[in-house]
Chain A
Amino acid sequence: MYSADKTKKFAMAYIVDRCVDCKACMVACKAEWQIPDNDFRTHIDTGIAPAATERLSMHFLPHQCNHCDDAPCVTVCPTKASHKRADGVVDIDNRKCVGCRYCIPSCPYNARFFNNQLGVADKCTFCLPRIYDGLMPACVTTCPGRARVFGDINDPESEISKALKDAADNRYRVWTLRKDLGTEPNIYYIQK
């Protein structure tokens, strides 16, 4: 239906300083995708640091599927239901998913869960139909902190390319999660 545009590579960045842990993104995603019960496709972790002896600080860390370039979930999937698209999105074909759940523990980011209502593995899809309809992903659209930036990193004019360039120019901290695992994530963290 939404065949992959090979010229694009979709990615997301979180400007960590702007996240306030309001969890609007979690509920917007739930609404958009009718995620059952207590599951969510995206989460915010709250870390309070450190002990009382040092200056108190708290950070908020959004996360979801990293749409890895070298995705273990794709490697282990026996039916090729989980696949990497030419536009960078790691997608799950519900018709092919047999619910074997191999992919769920294989993801080092704990990004997948089992959708009991549909009987398939589930996770963030970067809001595939939305983005081909010219909309932003639901979590990005709603984020009151404007912490989430999404787009095509092949396009230098896209908001995400600009955000990453701005971060590089200003020498902000930029990282991806668990670089050491070599999964090549496509979600970037930016912190001033």
Chain B
Amino acid sequence: MTKCRISRRRFIQGTASVGAALASMSSFRLLTGSSPASAEPQQGVTYAQNWCEMCFWKCGLTAKVVDGKVKKLEGQPDCPSNYGKLCAKGNAGVFQLYDPDRLKTPLIRDGERGSGKFRKATWEEALTYVAQKTNELKEKYGPETFSIFAHGSGEHSFVELVEIIGSPNYCIPSYAQCTGSRDIGWALSYGKAVGGKEPVDSQNSKCIMLLGRNIVEALHVGEMQDFVEGVAKGAHVIYVDPRFTKTAAKANQYMMIKPGTDSALLLGMINYIIEKEIYNKNFVDGYTHGFDLFKEHVAEYTVEWASQITEIPQTEIIKAAEKLCEAAPHCYIHPGRRLTRYGNDTQFTRIVACLNMLMGNWEVRGGIYRTVGFKYDAPHMVHFDKPYADRADGAGSEEFPLGPKNLGFANKLMEHIANQDVYPLKGMFVYGCNPLHHHGSTEMVKKALENTELLVTCEIYMTDTAWLSDVILPESTYLERYDPVISTGRRKGYIQFREPAVNPVFDTKGGWEIAAQLSAAMGHENEFLDVREYNRLAFEALGITEEYMKKHGVWVANESTPYPVEDGEEEPSFRTPSGKAEFYSNLCEHFSYPPMPSYEENPVPAEDEFRFLFGRLSFHTHARTQNNAWLLALHKSEVPLWIHTDRAKALGIKDGMQVRLVKEGFKSNPCTARVVDYIHPQAVFLPYGFGHETKGLTRITGKGARTSDFTSNLTDPISGAAGFHNGFVKLEIA
């Protein structure tokens, strides 16, 4: 145990000597002519370009390779994702590469499911086995019996394989489990989804409002850099969360909100802003639709009412509203990330969008900027005919007309696999994700996995899901493989390049190679391009050379303005039916959803229960990095469970005690109680991604709780995305 290195007392003593260094300033000798020695090429040292795969922000990085071993990863200074910086996870990629816990060869199950008995197989054996089983299932149940859950840079390798087989049931779970409701809510309001690289212009913002968007801990380097820049320049930061997070530490105004009442807070602010007529009239009059109806609609949501529901003093609500309006249009209310909370999140994001509309912050500095993308004639990895069957999960059906067919509803699809109630769903592929942790109900996922006759997982680690698989295909990590170049948009549009820094450390292959070989083994004649060939064609289409990308790793292709409205190049325009930003949503009306968002009360926990909240730590991604020894060392492998002092006292729980979460008789592994005053008494908070069962993650198995054992399993009626935060738990001392 490392103890706290400098006690609070010492820190205070440190601050007591403020000004001491000011005195010593005068003693700086003013010598000139000392330029740093320039870097000399070292023997045995090479560099390789890549983008980070420790999370999904895709920071550009350069790997330093010394005598054939990756020694250090550093950010590419010119990459607009991260401008030379990497977070703790990014820096720990080296450990992942050489981790002895990695999957080292293909494995075929050789015992009961869940027994963990696998036999090592050659690639040929494993691929033939999967191909045969796949063809058998296809024969028996039809091609649509297959599903794929895929996340990460190689996701499309397996998605396209499943489409080639003939099934439409592919899911990119980040839609249903993270951003789906938000993107649909935003699309209904502005005609455009937010997208994964949230275009909030923190660095130029004068006022930033975040509702549980914990930018500092649920961290994406680029977004966080912008935020710190904005803070340093003096932006007024309003942070709303039932919990005082590290993002709250950077805020000027922190509001501890009663969990589940965010929409009441925003409606109260909207009411105030409209009543006082301090909104951006120019924008509202010129570029929005349905304001008068909206004004009438929100008249009942007074500040007094909002204060009662949210437990936030009226003065604070008013202050937040005024601060935003003073700063408008150089301000924003964050659209949110993982807005899969209460099962009515699309309407909540509609409220967020409407408040932003009142600011008129569209495509201006400090507000919502325009993501600068670019188009080029990208080659196809493989040509195939689209499957004809209907999706089993209902995405894009009459029930969910707005559900995107190209992303799917991971939660609904899993449910249908568990219940087998649409058509037989007997074959499942999993690429780079871990459904046992990612869904609303572990029970349901377990049932689904039991119902499959073939479960194939392509992974780099023995996840809980891999542990239950029939075949495990070990993938090379990002530092060992090529991938098709990617194009990304933030304030600039850019291309990123990945090349292996070292040969595969174990007997692994890249996703595209695996998919291509599987497809061939199944007897399909579709020709996959080799990734290097794909890249060559892409470079040709882009007019750049591989040499350039090998040197820089990133190429900025489009530098047009991300603020076309403010820069006077364009009038605000929106791809909605009215062509305006819509307070009153025509599409909602068309599909018989409420066209204007209202307050909906969420269920509350019983007296002896807590609302179960979960989220990220700055140094872990989803459930995929918890076993990394360098990252574990940062928190001494402890899994904290936050609980309010008064509630803890009543239960006899003291800070540091081991406690278990309990729900319907089910108990978690022990977690370490973190007894604090700065979480709402009605909630407990657990960092996401612990509680692994698999014996293949030797450092972390059995530690902490798995969130999916305790969340709610709801579906938003508009977007089809999940809702996790209506799970209620009890605690007991371990």
Contacts and interface: CB of A to CB of B under 8 A. Distances in A.
Interface of A: 5, 7-9, 15, 17-18, 20-24, 26-28, 30-32, 37-40, 43, 45-49, 51-52, 56-61, 63, 109-110, 131-135, 138, 141-146, 152-157, 161, 164-165, 168, 173-180, 188-189
Contact of B34 (A8, A142, A144): A8
Given A61-B6, A144-B221, A174 B22 contact: yes
B11 A21 contact: no
A30 to B, nearest CB: 6
B617 to A, nearest CB: 9
A173 B287 CA distance: 46
Question: Which secondary structure dominates where chain A touches chain B?
Answer: mixed
Given A37-B633, A155-B34, A51 B219 contact: no
Nearest to B2: A38
Interface of B: 2, 4-6, 8, 10-11, 13-15, 17-22, 25, 28-32, 34, 36-40, 71-75, 82, 84-88, 90-92, 94-95, 216, 219, 221, 224-225, 228, 231-232, 244, 246, 248-250, 254, 618-619, 629-631, 633-634, 636, 676-678
Contacts of B228: 18, 20, 144-146
Contacts of B18: 173-175
A168 B18 CA distance: 11
A23 B6 contact: no
A175 B30 contact: no
Q: Which 9 A-B pairs have the closest CB atoms?
A: A179-B17, A58-B249, A27-B91, A52-B677, A144-B85, A174-B21, A177-B14, A27-B88, A20-B216
A89 B110 CA distance: 58
29 contacts: A5-B34, A21-B216, A22-B219, A23-B618, A27-B92, A30-B630, A30-B633, A39-B633, A40-B633, A56-B244, A109-B5, A109-B6, A133-B39, A134-B38, A135-B39, A144-B82, A144-B85, A144-B86, A153-B28, A154-B30, A155-B31, A155-B32, A156-B28, A156-B30, A161-B28, A164-B25, A174-B20, A174-B25, A177-B11
A47 B246 CA distance: 11
Contacts of A154: 28-31, 34
Contacts of B219: 22, 144
A188 B712 CA distance: 48
A164 B26 CA distance: 11
Given A144-B225, A176-B20, A28 B28 contact: no
Contacts of A146: 225, 228
Contact of B246 (A8, A9, A20, A38): A20
A176 B18 CA distance: 8
A24 B85 contact: yes
A144 B87 contact: yes
A107 to B, nearest CB: 11
Contact of A188 (B2, B21, B95): B21
B92 A133 contact: no
Given A20-B246, A45-B4, A52-B678, A165 B25 contact: yes
Contacts of A7: 31, 34
Contacts of B250: 20
A56 B224 contact: no
